[in-house]
């Protein structure tokens, strides 16, 4: 570094404003009035520090108290902005885990609001005017909808699996097919959960094929459970074979008979982690490719667990169903307290389950089900509306806007191979580009709009639009993008 350069850097660093000067800056006046002093002070210091580092690294920036005050205000505004915000999902992935999985039915939202605002019967039995159980609210509905004798709902399905294994298989063997030792995502891996719950995992079969005799050979006097795991986001296709729940039930019944004859009353249980947990047949393109909870119970599973916010379309929860004898043990498990649901989630779950009493109503009123079963031509109508809105704002010389056939996905690990015929609005750019536009819509728009980039186009799949007003919001945001792109 030459002497004059060094001198001029020193001069520049010396000319950095003091913290007091920055705090006195016009941009920070309202902040100093409404926020804790230390918070504004830290922001002012950080903006000076950032400017110092920029100067040292040779950046040619203009620095004065006013500019730094403005930067401090911007950073404070970012800190203060709500972090958990509404998003418009135009990806076509229905149970989008990163975007909050299921949006709730109107009735469920109302129930959450009531429970949040007032006192409630959370643990109060009105009939007997005494302490009640929070487990009581959803149990009857879950039983009615699944054919199970009893039920308990906990924080999520990962918690449900953990609780079932630690109550019924800790210190014992649990037999599971090698084809089902899956990782679901978000660090849920079947072998890890087994280890955490102290169950001894006994793997049987091969990756692609597991037979009835594999289970039969693996069972010892110390085996507590035959575990079946829905492979969810993963499919085995080709030369494959797996054992059904009803076959597992038959194996267990044979072994339990033998044990009883030998005076051993330790029961071998069949437990299925069903993952998504469809309560009714889900109609995709006229097929229903996902097993229901009722069918798993009917096949003879002693216990079944599933998520509340995947195909069920409710709040985050894990639901375990089975016989009263087994569920009662879970209700007394120490983890039941640690993993229990709060009143708002219980309210949402109860309201969602109630809608299922009329399956047609459920398909209409539960957004996840409605999106899954909406016919493609209905999705196309929404796409046409969005395209019209966009075309009225965006000139042909700026972008081509068309409606194109697309494929939506169930998401949330459900139906991974299942193509759901859909439609999307496609933008082909003559000004700007898809990458830049997508970044603008996500980062700069108050309500982030998440679409999908395909080659050089940006797609908005309208199957996952929650309400029609979102179409106008997307159009306005895209229009804003083009307005600033043209000015560049």
Ligand X SMILES: *Cc1c(COP(=O)(O)O)cnc(C)c1O
Of 89 and 156, CB closest to ligand X: 156
Tell the smallest beta-carbon distance from residue 186 to ligand X (Å).
7
Q: Of 365, 341, 339, which is closest to residue 351 (Cα–Cα)?
A: 365
Of 173 and 309, CB closest to ligand X: 309
Contact residues: ligand X, CB under 6 A = 156-158, 161, 184, 188, 229-230, 232, 273, 275-276, 307, 318, 413
Tell the smallest beta-carbon distance from residue 137 to ligand X (Å).
19
Tell the smallest beta-carbon distance from residue 184 to ligand X (Å).
4
Instruction: Return d(Cα 176, Cα 194) in angstroms, integer.
Output: 10
Of 40 and 227, CB closest to ligand X: 227
Of 21 and 203, CB closest to ligand X: 203
Burial class of residue 119 in the structure, from the number of CB atoms within 10 Å of its CB (0-12 exposed, 13-18 middle, 19+ buried) = exposed
- Within 10 angstroms of residue 242's Cβ, the number of other Cβ atoms is 16
Tell the smallest beta-carbon distance from residue 127 to ligand X (Å).
32
Tell the smallest beta-carbon distance from residue 161 to ligand X (Å).
6
Helix axes 136-146, 343-355, angle to 10 degrees: 30
Instruction: Return d(Cα 339, Cα 159) in angstroms, integer.
Output: 7
Tell the smallest beta-carbon distance from residue 461 to ligand X (Å).
22
Of 69 and 142, CB closest to ligand X: 142
Mention every residue, 6+ apart, whose C-beta is less than 8 A from residue 51: 16, 61, 63, 68, 71
Of 73 and 230, CB closest to ligand X: 230
Of 186 and 375, CB closest to ligand X: 186
Residue nearest to ligand X (CB): 275
CB 13 within 8 A of CB 55: yes
Tell the smallest beta-carbon distance from residue 340 to ligand X (Å).
15
Of 90 and 279, CB closest to ligand X: 279
Of 185 and 472, CB closest to ligand X: 185
Tell the smallest beta-carbon distance from residue 136 to ligand X (Å).
22
Tell the smallest beta-carbon distance from residue 120 to ligand X (Å).
24
Tell the smallest beta-carbon distance from residue 157 to ligand X (Å).
3
Of 87 and 319, CB closest to ligand X: 319
Instruction: Return d(Cα 175, Cα 203) in angstroms, integer.
Output: 6
Q: State both tokens at 214.
A: 């594999």
């Amino acid at each position: 570094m030459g002497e004059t350069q060094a001198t001029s850097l020193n001069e520049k660093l010396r000319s950095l404003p003091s913290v007091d000067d920055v705090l006195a800056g016009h941009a920070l006046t309202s902040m100093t009035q409404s926020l804790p002093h230390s918070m504004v002070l830290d922001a002012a210091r950080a903006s000076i520090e950032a400017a110092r580092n920029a100067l040292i690294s040779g950046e040619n920036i203009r620095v004065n108290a006013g500019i730094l005050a403005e930067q401090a205000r911007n950073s404070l505004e970012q800190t203060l902005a709500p972090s958990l915000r509404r998003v418009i999902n135009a990806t076509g992935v229905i149970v989008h885990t990163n975007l909050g999985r299921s949006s709730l039915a109107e009735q469920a939202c109302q129930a959450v609001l009531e429970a949040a605002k007032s006192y409630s019967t959370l643990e109060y039995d009105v009939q007997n005017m005494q302490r009640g159980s929070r487990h009581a609210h959803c149990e009857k509905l879950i039983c009615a909808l699944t054919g199970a004798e009893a039920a308990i709902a906990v924080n999520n399905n990962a918690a449900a699996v953990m609780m079932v294994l630690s109550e019924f298989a800790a210190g014992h063997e649990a037999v599971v097919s090698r084809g089902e030792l899956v990782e679901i995502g978000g660090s849920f891996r079947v072998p890890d959960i087994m280890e955490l719950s102290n169950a001894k995992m006994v793997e049987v079969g091969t990756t692609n094929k597991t037979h009835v005799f594999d289970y039969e050979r693996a069972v010892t006097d110390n085996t507590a459970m035959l575990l079946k795991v829905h492979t969810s986001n993963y499919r085995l296709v080709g030369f494959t074979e797996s054992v059904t729940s009803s076959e597992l039930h038959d194996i267990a019944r044979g072994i339990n008979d033998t044990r009883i004859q030998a005076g051993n009353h330790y029961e071998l249980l069949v437990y299925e982690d069903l993952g998504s947990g469809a309560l009714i047949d889900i109609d995709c393109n006229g097929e229903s490719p996902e097993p229901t909870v009722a069918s798993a119970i009917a096949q003879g599973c002693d216990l079944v667990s599933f998520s509340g916010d995947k195909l069920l379309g409710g709040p985050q929860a894990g639901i375990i169903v089975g016989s009263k004898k087994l569920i009662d043990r879970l209700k007394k498990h120490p983890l039941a307290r640690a993993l229990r649901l709060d009143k708002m989630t219980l309210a949402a779950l109860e309201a969602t389950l109630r809608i299922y009493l009329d399956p047609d109503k459920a398909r209409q009123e539960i957004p996840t089900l409605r999106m899954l079963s909406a016919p493609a031509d209905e999705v196309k109508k929404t796409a046409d509306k969005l395209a019209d809105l966009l075309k009225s704002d965006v000139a042909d010389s700026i972008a081509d806007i068309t409606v194109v056939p697309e494929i939506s996905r169930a998401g949330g690990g459900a139906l991974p191979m299942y193509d759901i015929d859909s439609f999307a609005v496609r933008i082909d750019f003559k000004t700007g580009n898809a990458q830049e536009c997508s970044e603008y819509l996500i980062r700069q728009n108050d309500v982030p709009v998440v679409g999908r980039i395909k080659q050089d186009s940006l797609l908005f799949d309208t199957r996952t639009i929650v309400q029609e007003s979102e179409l106008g919001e997307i159009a306005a945001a895209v229009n804003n993008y083009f307005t600033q792109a043209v000015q560049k």
